[in-house]
Amino acid sequence: MYVLGIALAILMALIFRRTLFRGKPAPFVLELPRYQVPTVKSTLLHMWERGKWFLIRAGTIIFAVVIVIWFLSGHPWAATEGGEIIEASYVAGLGHFIEPIFAPFGWDWIAGVAIIFGFLAKEVVVATYGMLLGTGEEAVGDALVSMGVFTPLTGFAFMAFVLIYIPCVATIGAIWRETNSVKWPLFTMAYLTALAFIVSGLIIGIGHLLGFA
Q: Can you give the pTM of this predicted structure? A: 0.77
In this prediction, residue 134 carries a pLDDT of 74
Distance CA 122, CA 131 (A): 15
In this prediction, residue 84 carries a pLDDT of 54
In this prediction, residue 149 carries a pLDDT of 80
Q: Checking phi first, is residue 81 left (phi over 0); if not, alpha (psi -120 to 50) or beta?
A: beta
What residues in the chain have per-residue pLDDT under 70?
57-59, 76-87, 137
In this prediction, residue 77 carries a pLDDT of 56
HSE, side-chain direction, 13 A CA sphere, residue 166:
20
In this prediction, residue 161 carries a pLDDT of 95
In this prediction, residue 202 carries a pLDDT of 94
In this prediction, residue 58 carries a pLDDT of 66
Helix runs in the chain, H state only? 2-18, 40-57, 63-73, 90-102, 109-117, 124-133, 140-146, 152-164, 169-179, 183-209
Distance CA 213, CA 93 (A): 28
What's the pLDDT tens digit per position in 136-147?
A: 767 787 788 777
